[in-house]
Amino acid sequence: MKLSVRDGDRVKIGDPLLQMDSDREDKDTEQVNALEAIRKIRADQFKGPELALLQTIAKTAVEIATEKTNTDTTDADRADKLVKLGSLDPFVATVARAKARESQLALDRATAQQSQLQFAISRHSQVDVIAKQMDDNRLALLAKQKNQLSIMSPVAGTVHLHVGTGSFAELGSVLLEIG
């Protein structure tokens, strides 16, 4: 505890009289600020040109897979018709149908990856908002706690100390009066 006044000092309402040790609150504030800096770095990973590039790549992968699936499905359908007309070996049509199924699988995979990316972005944004709110609330609480460690003068007047520098006060004893 640190006295902010000396015997005989004049004080006004709201002047600080004494300050309790705030080391714990200061360390907690530093820790929350460090966590906030980490949160910002993580949040920035889901913003900007890198994210736009990932979204574009995912979209392009779906578009390419869709086009390939459409082409391979058309080729397989054509091969099936030619088999029915007797002008194509059924094995060739089976290979074409397998290729179309592989293309559909690749399309499904690309679509799933695009959805996973969008979900991750959305979830990260939601978590980031909550984490920011928690950090802000914790900093506000620490500021309030630190503010409560100061005792301010409730009245104007002259300070009369009842303790000396380096002395110990007993529980319940009067430290100072303002007259």
pTM: 0.59
How many CA atoms are closer than 13 Å to the CA of 83, on its beta-carbon side?
Answer: 15
End-to-end CA separation in angstroms for the chain: 22
Burial class (CB in 10 A: 0-12, 13-18, 19+), 80: middle
pLDDT digits (tens, 9 = 90+) for 70-90: 999 999 999 999 999 999 999
pLDDT score recorded for residue 21: 87
Q: What is the total residue count of the chain?
A: 179
Per-residue pLDDT of 78-132, as tens digits, reads: 999 999 999 999 999 999 999 999 999 999 999 999 999 999 989 988 999 999 9
* Count of other CB atoms within 10 angstroms of residue 79: 21
